[in-house]
Structure 1
Amino acid sequence: MSGRGSGIVLPALLALVVGATPARSQDAATLKKEMIGQWELSTTERGKTCVVTLKADSSPQGLKLELEPGCAAALPFTKDIAAWNIKGLDIVRLQDAAGQPVIDFTEVESGIFEGLRQGEGIYILQNLAAARALAKSMDQMIGDWSMVRGKGVVICGLTLTNTEADQDNFQVFLKPKCDPAVAAFAPTQWRLERGQMILMSAKGDVWHFEADDNAQWRRVPDSADPLIMLRQ
């Protein structure tokens, strides 16, 4: 696929992810007010999503909420969610009809919350508009890329796909005639996570890339002869 729009996409992605500020310290009343509205509940890679509308109205079970019709099919545990509440100073709880937690979220970056379900993994709760803007940016990451050394020498080509490899990652394919170091790494999966493009091999090796001011992705930690990812 072409790199059309990548010059716009990467700054937008940076603004959404890299530029996110750390979670703020705040009281429960302020957090409750800020949570009113539409949120996206998702797996970490957004392969499965559910729109949750948090309301200020009270009910016998807690504060009212609405789940979009497809939530239970996408995320089966949501069928148990009947209400929401703030616990302590900073825990956003989605709870069942008895008031027991289905999943608890804490803010890890401004407007981005993480929650863990034992045996399932981590789930993300973030503002719906921001999540959809990020998804649009991520979708435009799909396609052909070149790995380039700092002096502009192309050492490998690869294709990022939106085909799920597992719950959190997508498939990536190397093209023929790659540099031996890249061929030995042999990435098979990728994902975007907190401002980084992450490539992973079947052996468990991981390379991290961060977007820079030139709308390109540099491997971190940086080196005197940097490895850069560029859209083709």
Structure 2
Amino acid sequence: MWRAFGTVILSALLASAATAQDAASMKKDMVGQWELATTERSKTCVVTLTSEPAAKGLKLTLEPDCAKTLPFTKAIVAWDVKGLDIVRLETADGDSVIDFTEVESGIFEGHRDGEGIYILQNLVAARSLAKSMEQMIGDWTMVRGNGRQVCGLTLTNTEAGNDNFQAFLKPRCDAQIAGFGPTMWRLEHGAMLLVAPNGDTWRFEADDNAQWRKMPDTADPLIMLRQ
């Protein structure tokens, strides 16, 4: 009985030590500059997380326009890691202003009641994504593998909800593309998605020739070329 009890205690101590180690590692990884933004990036704020101790948690700095762009940031004076994987932006008393959890590598998602979802992302990666989006905006031609033009398409930066932006087909598209009828687009995990009103999605990936090919690839591929 005492041996079993001792095993339980040891397991608990080991689990506690592992949790502390994970939290310490995460704190180290989070130090640096991050972009705090709405999901569609219409409002952004640069947050610098440091390893310096504060009265509660660790110190951070917000760029001067943060309070104007995202008013709730006025209350944020420190940050910390809670539990295994929660990144907390907090008040001077250690109360949560917003908690973030990692939804994919380097991208954290947090929610505020009555306001919605906010994204915390490494600043370099966030600006790289913004640059990629800017490069996508404009007129495109869709061609088949033999070079035959089958449709024209315009990608815009007009928000269409759920991280999507408006897209418009030009007249005289072939039957397959006209039937699909995409009205939105977005970048996701390095791919470009065209989205129809019914939710159907076509996925395009960049190839070595700076073209975007519909996936999965076929013997008669559909390729997007910048006009």
Question: Which TM-score band applies after superposition, normalised by the shorter structure?
Answer: 0.7 to 0.9
Matches of 2:220 and 2:67 in 1, distance apart? 49
| Aligned match of 1:113 | 108
Equivalent residue of 1:34, what SS?
helix
Contact 1:61 1:82 in 2 (8 A): no
2:148 corresponding residue in structure 1? 153
**Which of 180, 183, 189 does residue 185 from structure 1 map onto?**
180
Residue 50 of structure 2: aligned partner:
55
User: What displacement does 1:83 show?
Assistant: 1.8
Kindly report which structure 2 residues correspond to 1:118-197, keeping only aligned pairs within 5 A, or say none: 120-166=115-161, 168-197=163-192
Other structure's SS at 2:133 match: helix
CA contact (8 A) 1:43 1:168 kept: no
* Counterpart-to-counterpart distance in 1, 2:163 and 2:75: 23
Shift of the 120–208 alpha-carbon distance from structure 1 to 2, 3 Å rule, reads farther
Tell me the equivalent position of 2:40: 45
Structure 2 unaligned blocks of 5 or more: 1-20
Q: Deviations over 1:188-232 (max 9, x none)?
A: 221111112111223332222222233222222333332222212
Structure-1 residue corresponding to 2:70: 75
Listed one character per residue, the Cα deviations across residues 78-121 of structure 1 (whole Å, up to 9, x for unaligned) are: 33433210122332222234433333333344433333445655
Of residues 207, 222, 227, the one that matches 2:222 is: 227
Label 1:29 to 1:45 Cα distance change in 2 as closer, same or farther (>3 A): same
CA drift of 1:122 comes to 3.9
| 2:59 equivalent to 1:64 | yes
Paired position in structure 2 for 1:208: 203
**Partner residue of 1:96?**
91
Match in the other structure for 1:35: 30
Higher relative CO (Cα under 8 Å, sequence separation at least 6) belongs to 1
SS at match of 2:183: strand
Question: How far 1:163 sits from its partner (Å)?
Answer: 2.2
TM-score (norm 2): 0.79
Contact 1:147 1:229 in 2 (8 A): yes
Please identify which structure carries the higher helix content: 2
Measure, in 2, the Cα distance between the counterparts of 1:120 and 1:193.
23
- Which stretch of the first structure deviates more once superposed, 101-110 or 135-144? 101-110
| Count of residues in Structure 1 that have an aligned counterpart in Structure 2 | 207
**Higher Rg of the two aligned structures:** 2
Structure 1 position 145, deviation (Å): 0.8
How far does residue 167 in structure 1 lie from its aligned partner after superposition? 5.9
User: Identity over aligned residues, as a percent?
Assistant: 72
- Kindly provide the amino acid, as one letter, of the partner of residue 194 in structure 1: H
For 2:66 and 2:222, locate their aligned partners in 1 and report how far apart those are by CA, in whole Å.
41
- Please state whether the residue corresponding to 1:187 is helix, strand or coil: coil
Stretch deviating more after TM superposition (74-83 or 201-210): 74-83
Where does structure 1 lack aligned partners over 5 or more consecutive residues? 1-25
- For residue 161 of structure 2, give the secondary structure of its aligned residue in structure 1: coil
